[in-house]
Every structure is written in C-alpha cells, then in structure tokens.
Structure 1
Amino acid sequence: MTAAYRMKGVGWFGGCVAVVLGFYLVSLQVAAERKKLEAVNGQIRSAQRDIRALETEFDTRGNLAQLERWNGDTLALSAPTAGQFVVSEAALAALDVNSLRADGVQTAALLVPSGAGSAVTVPIVPVTAAPAVVKLAPVQMAQVTAPRAMNVAIQAASKTALKPVVIRASVSTPRSAEAALVRAAKTERLAAVAKVRPQAVAMLDRKLLSDTTLGDIMSGARSESRKRR
C-alpha cells in the first residue's frame, strides 16, 4: 500500500515535468517561428529598398537624354577643367573675375527665352471728334436765306451738343451779308448750347438721385442708427 502510494506520487511528478517540458518546447517553437518571420520581414524591406534604388536608376538613365538636351539648349554647362581648381582659400579669394573673363573662361549664365519677356503692344489710335459741317444751299436773296440758315444752325447745335460746328455758306450775296449770317448762326449755337447744359445736368440728377433711391438710402441709414443704439 505504501509502495503504491509512493509510485503514485512519482507518477504525478513525472506527468507535471512532461507537461512543463511540453509548454517549454512550444514556447521555443514560437520564438523560432518569430525569428524566422522577422528575418523574412527584413528580406522584404531590403527587397523594397533594392526596388526603389532600381526604379530611381531606371528613371535617371531614362532622363539622361532629356537632361543632355536641356544642358545643350538652356543650361549650357560643361565639366570643369584643371585650371579652374585652386590650392587654398587664399588663392580662391585672390581670383579676379575680370581676368577669368579675359582668359576666355565661360562662366554660367541664365538664358531667358526671347519670346517670354516680349510684351504685346497694342497700337493706340487717337480718336478725334469729327466736326459737324452744315452746308447751306445757294440762294439769290439774303433776306430769304437768313431764317433758314438760323434754323439749320439751331438744329445742328441741339443734336451735336458740345461738338464743334463748322458752317460753310456758299451764296451769291456780298461778303457783308455772308458775315452777318455766320455771326447770327454762332450766336444761336451758343444760346442752344447754354440751354442744353442745365437740362442735361438736371436729367443726370434725376437719374442718379430719384425718389426711390433717396428713400432706400434714408431707410438704410435709419436702420443702421437703430442697430447702433
């Protein structure tokens, strides 16, 4: 009985040891798989870096022709020669730019296309007001043509407003009668212009300051004053 009891304890101990060893082996297997996974991830990252490097190299080699064309057309860069290198900073500070240009060394310069900075010039044609010309038909008597010439001059002055009016009269009357007609036409034109100006100003005031507009302005001012209070 005592021996059986002892064997039972040994059995339980052996079973516990086996279970612990099993769990330990499982943890070791998990750690090994984790290391393998990390190694695979590292390989993936290195492969991605290689892919990016290859893509950059392909893009660079593909653009070499374009870069060469740009250099030949716009940049105009060239490899430095042995004479362009100096020994120390003192020699670099002692360099004279004018002497370099005199020796025939071409320095880098910015080339601006000729069509980029050209401005489009639009010809401006001066507009001059054409004077109105009123010609009077030739008549035989100065007394008959005077009222007609005055009426024509008044109509032309009212239509053209401030435009200069040139009156040309070709009549068979003496020069004194012609001068009298011209003076009368000028007087009537000035009177018509003097009448047109106040009427135009009054019409402008009516259009800009109507009753409706003034009412809207006053109502807006009242509402703003109420809001401020």
Structure 2
Amino acid sequence: MNPSFGRRPPRTEIPRVSTRGSAKPTTKMDISSLTPTLNHFLGQSAYCELGAFESLSRAVFTAPDLASKEGLSAAAGRALSKHHGLVAEIRRREADPATEMAPFAPALDAFRAKTHGADWHELLLSCYLTGGLLDDFFIRLSDGLPRDVGPRIAQLLGDDTGTDVLVRELQTAIQAQPALGSRLAMWGRRLVGDTLLVARSAMPASEAEAFTELRIEPVFTDLIAAHTRRMDGLGLTA
C-alpha cells in the first residue's frame, strides 16, 4: 500500500431513498427554497472546489507515470478554475474569500480525508464520483440564487473538462485488473453516503429539518441516479 494513503474509515449510512428497482420517474423537484444565503453558498462551494483541486493534485503527484500526470493535470486545473470563479463572485460582493470559506473547512477537510481511499485508483474514483455528485447538487441549489449570479454559477460548475481523463484511467485499470472492478464498485457505493451528507449540510439546518423526507427524497434520488450512471459508465455496479 502506498504510504500516502490510509485505511478506509467506517462506512457512512446513505440517507434513505427508493431502491433503484422501485424508483419511478419524477419531475425535477424545485429546491430553490432550500438555497442558503449567497455568501454561504459561495463559501461552501468554493471550498468544495478547492478540496477537489487538492485531491486531484494528490492524484497527479501519486500517478504511476508521466502520461497519467499530464492528463490528470487538466482535471485539477478545471477544479482550480471553478474555485477561482467562485472566489471572484465572493470578491465581487466585497467579502473576503477566506472568511467566507472558513466555517466549512473543518467538515470538508474531514470529508476529503475520509474519501481519499486506500490507493491511487480509489482516489481517482473518489475524485470522479464525489466531484460529479457535488457539482450536480450545487448546480441544482443555484436555482435559488439571485438571477444575476445563479445562471453564471451553474455554467461554471457544469464545466467537466478533464473528466474524460479520469474515466479513461479507471477504465484502463479495470480492464487490466478484473479484480480491481469489484473493489472499486464497493468503494464507489461507500462514497455516496458521505457525499450526500455534504450536500445536505449545504441546506439551512432549520429548513432541512422542516422539510419532510417525501420532499427531499426525489432530489437525492436524482443525485444517486446520476451517480449510478457514472458507475455504469465505468462498468461498475452501483
């Protein structure tokens, strides 16, 4: 085991949603009423992207060859560009980025430490799945932001430059090592719970408690469906 990777933490339970087999088509749930204040949204999403950049940089640093390092640098650059874009929005409102991000740092640092995985391939899968799920969620949440900023942030977070490199690296490794697929499938399933907890924390606590499971469930069902499609694209069972 690479000494830079640690043992996996205990499994986090996934918030209850309908099973894949029993899920029914639903219309897109409007969660704009759950959107936090603009500075809260910007601070948390900016630190999420900074964490994604740090994780991808770690993947670049620990990559087994130069070709992988070069390819993954595009994904790391994309995450950093998103972070810079969100920081620019904070500064546009004459606020200090570090001050706005600080309240979210402890929990998000713990999340990154918990989802780094035991080796390079688990780290790659974590970058791909957690990054995709959180971007999906913050894009949905941006519907409730002021009209002069919401669409701009949604476009920024929707940039998936470099994602194809992550997919290609994982697909190549899984094809070369069939046993790796089973391990990564299990790891991918474990990532969902921790990532959904981060998503849930983005909503104001009082609102999250007030809304019934019936209202919240379709949102997380949609996020898990997108997660499942990413897993399926890698040939992994979600």
TM over 0.5: no
Structure showing the higher strand proportion among its residues: 1
- Higher relative contact order structure (alpha carbons within 8 Å, sequence separation ≥ 6): 2
TM-score, scaled relative to structure 1: 0.22
Structure showing greater Rg = 1
